[in-house]
Amino acid sequence: MPSTEELLKRLGVEIDAETLRLALTHRSYAYEHGGLPTNERLEFLGDSILGFSVTDALYRDNPTLPEGELAKRRSAVVSTRALAGVARDLDLGQYILLGQGEKLTNGADKSSILADTVEALIGATYLVNGIETARGMVMRLISPLLADAEALGAGTDWKTSIQELAAARKMGGVEYAVQGSGPDHARTFVATLRIGGTAYGQGTGHSKKEAEQEAAAVSWRQLRSVEPADA
């Protein structure tokens, strides 16, 4: 594992070496090293702090939004996809302690592992520094997501959102053309979304579902940036 000094600098907090190592210990590594403690308890703790911090920010920043829309935006901001994006911005994957099996299947870039580790780091920050420091770190990490919360709200399920948008504009049927490449243990999929026979966004992912969601997200943003002809 590379030096964690740069990671702590990016997080903007101090965490002692033992607690930080625990936060970065995936269960696959722990299992292969005789049943070491994993980061899952810290993840559980961090999830609660993250949820509260995001809820508080959304409530205060959007005084006229109804409960349903607040809940939708919160779900999007704390989603695995959103947190994995935060983790990739931090280059977090290189620091996570993984078992050999996860290393061989590119576990350092798996969205679920990245998102869980972000939550574990939040939990570790709380244990070492207290709630205010932990909340401050959360807000630094997710402030760009909060700024784009409306679009992320659609991202709770991009495929449903693009279906609804296409139907509202009477554009025709939505379909995905997906192609896979690479060995079985490290497949990459590319999806192209078509509406009414016209190609729109393209997405990539380690599964067909992930690639289709990315294609739907790109297409949704493309269409939202252009008003319908009869508007």
Marked catalytic residue, from 5, 67, 89, 119: 119
**0.85 exceeded by pTM:** no
Residues 103-137 have pLDDT tens digits of: 988 889 988 999 999 999 999 999 999 999 999 99
- Answer for the pair 212, 192: CB distance below 8 angstroms, yes or no: no
Cα 138 from Cα 77, distance rounded (Å): 11
In angstroms, rounded to a whole number, what is the distance separating the alpha carbons of residues 139 and 57? Answer: 8
Q: pLDDT class for 140, splitting at 50, 70, 90?
A: very high
> Among candidates 118, 117, 88, 113, which has minimal Cα distance to 103?
113
Longest dimension (CA), the chain: 65
Binning pLDDT at 50, 70 and 90, where does residue 231 land?
very low
- The count of other CB atoms within 10 Å of the CB of residue 84 is 22
Model confidence at 149, in pLDDT bands (50, 70, 90)?
Answer: low
Question: What are the distances in angstroms from CA 107 to CA 78, 91, 170, 196?
Answer: 20, 13, 41, 37
Cβ pair 190, 203 in contact under 8 A = yes
In this prediction, residue 77 has a pLDDT band, given cuts at 50, 70 and 90, of confident
User: Mean pLDDT in the chain?
Assistant: 89
Counting Cα atoms < 13 Å in the Cβ hemisphere of 191 gives 23
Per the structure block, which two tokens stand in for 11?
A: 């997080």
Enumerate the known binding-site residues for Mg(2+).
Answer: 43, 116, 119
Say what percent of the chain tops pLDDT 90: 57
Q: Domains of the chain, with CATH numbers?
A: 4-148 (1.10.1520.10), 158-225 (3.30.160.20)
pLDDT tens digit sequence for 84-99 = 989 999 999 999 999 9
Residue 98: CB atoms within 10 Å: 23
d(CA 176, CA 193): 5
Q: Which of 47, 102, 212, 214 is catalytic?
A: 47
Strand arrangement, sheet containing 198-205: 174-181, 188-195, 198-205
16 catalytically annotated: no
